Amino acid sequence: TKEAGKNTTTNYDGDAGAIYADETTLSIKNGATFTDNNASYGGAIYLKQKVMMSATDTTFKNNRAQVNGGAVYSYYNESEPEGVNEIRLLGETSLEENHSGQDGGAIYRHRDGLKRLIARKNVAFNDNSAWEDCIAIEPEDEETHKENIETTNFTGSFQYAYNNYDVSYRAA
């Protein structure tokens, strides 16, 4: 288990501006702030595989990914299908003004690399951006969204809020 406090800074080969996590439980809490981090993938955090990440009362602001996942990138290795990640956004967590050069201004799911994304009702997505704007939600993801996403605070008002500015569920 890793715990991150305020202004965590490390880097791993162009992936993850702040934290690179692989096969672990990552607990981020107590007002942790990820601001102005930059990486190719996962401006603030890169989840490789088998990571259970929870962020409580955490701020992700102005993080940048050159490619995907302005704040968080969740990877998937097809040869390790049981290695999917889980993200729980709790409390007053906010993802704001994050940007991706391609997809997932706040959060990017690489293929099937995210088993579950839970965002409780006080979680806010604000002013995130990505190169490409709206992507329709895949029919198989609709039920997952209805069960796990409680917040209605999104950058754009798109059905199921998968608007690519906030969360990308693109399978490419």
Q: pLDDT tens, position by position, for the chain (172 residues)?
A: 344 443 344 444 578 899 999 999 999 998 999 999 999 999 999 999 899 999 999 999 999 999 988 999 988 777 776 777 888 999 999 999 999 888 888 888 776 667 777 888 788 888 888 876 544 455 666 666 666 666 666 655 444 445 555 666 544 4
The pair of three-digit structure tokens given for residue 85, joined into one six-digit string: 């990640």
Give the C-alpha separation, 136 to 93, whole Å.
25
**What pTM did the predictor assign?**
0.79
Gap between the Cα atoms of 95 and 69, Å rounded: 12
